[in-house]
Amino acid sequence: MTRSSISSPKEIESMRLACAKAAETLLAVGEFLQPGMTTDDINRFVHDDTVKRGGWPAPLNYRGFPKSVCTSVNEIVCHGIPNADVVKDGDIINIDVTTIYKGFHGDTSATFYVGNPSTTARKVTECARRSLALGIEAVHEGATLGDIGAAIQQYVEGEGFSVVRDFVGHGIGRKFHTDPQVKHYGKRGTGERLRAGMIFTIEPMVNQGTYAVEIDPADKWTVRTADRGLSAQFEHTVLVTKRGCEVLTARGSVLRNSENIAAVFV
C-alpha cells in the first residue's frame, strides 16, 4: 500500500495560507451570487478575486480544463464548465474554488441556493453539508480512510440519498491531486491509517437518486447524474493532527446563499 506523504511544519503553514485564500474567495462568491447571472459571470468573478488576493486559479488549463472555476448546476455532479447558461431562481449550484498561492493549493467548494429551491433540493444539499461534517469528525491520527467513507455513506444512505463513487477526495499540497484517494463510502477500519501531517480533501457528492454518473461525451469534463436527479457537494481541505483535525479551508464568516439559510427547509 502506498503511504501518503507527511507535510513539514513549513509546508503546513504554506497550505494554511493557500487554503485561507480559497476560503476567502468562496465567501466572496456567496455575496456575489444572484439569479440571472451566467456561470461565465461567476467564472470571471472567481478569476479576478483569486488574482486580487495574490493567487492563481488552479483549474485554468489544468489537464485542458478551460475555465478558472467549476460551476455545477442541479444535476451536474462536478466539473461543470462555466458558459453562457443563466442560473435561475430555484437552482442549486456547486462552486469549486482552488487557489494556487506561493506554490501551494487550497481547495474548497460549497453548494449555493439560487433564490428559493424546492424542498428536495434543500434536503439533498443539507444532506451533503452534514455528510462533510461527519466525514471531518472521523479524522484523527490512528483512524483510517475507511472510517471517513463509512461515516459519510451511513448518514447519506440513511437519509435516502446516495454517495457518488466515481469521484473522490485527494491529497493536495504543491500538487493539485496526490495520494491518498479519499473515498466517500467504505467500511470502518479499512484503508490507509491516518498520520499527523497528512493533508487531503473531503468532498462528498450526494445524489438525489442513484449514485451512477455520466461524463459528457462532448466536453469530456461535465459529470451528470445518470438519472438526471439533483446532486450537491461540499468540500474542505483538512490536516490530520495529533489531536484530531484542522480544517484548513475553514471560513471566517457565514457563507451567504448557503449557510445563512441552511436550516430553512422542511
Segments making up each domain of the chain, as ranges = 9-261
CB 258 within 8 A of CB 113: yes
pLDDT of residue 263: 57
Query: Does the pLDDT of residue 265 top 60, yes or no?
Result: no
97-124: per-residue pLDDT in tens?
999 999 999 999 999 999 999 999 999 9
pLDDT at residue number 137:
97
pLDDT for residue 261 is more than 90:
no
Please identify which residue in the block is written with the cell numbers 477500519. Answer: 189
Q: Does CATH place domain 9-261 in 3.90.230.10?
A: yes
| 192-248 pLDDT per residue, tens | 999 999 999 999 999 999 999 999 999 999 999 999 999 999 999 999 999 899 999
The pLDDT of residue 3? 78
Region 81-107: what's the mean pLDDT?
98
Residues 6+ apart with CB under 8 A from 243: 140
pLDDT, tens digit, for every residue of 139-198? 999 999 999 999 999 999 999 999 999 999 999 999 999 999 999 999 999 999 999 999
State the pTM of this model.
0.96
What does the pLDDT read at residue 177? Answer: 98
- Calculate the average pLDDT of the chain: 96
Average pLDDT value for residue range 243-258: 96
**Which candidate, 122, 202, 210, 200, places its Cα nearest to that of 163?**
210
What tens digit of pLDDT does each residue of 17-74 get? 999 999 999 999 999 999 999 999 999 999 999 999 999 999 999 999 999 999 999 9
Give 266's pLDDT tier (boundaries 50, 70, 90).
Answer: very low
d(CA 108, CA 115): 22
CA angle 240, 245, 251 (to 5 degrees): 120
Residue 183 CA neighbour count, 13 Å, CB half = 16
**Residue reference for cell 455528510:** 131
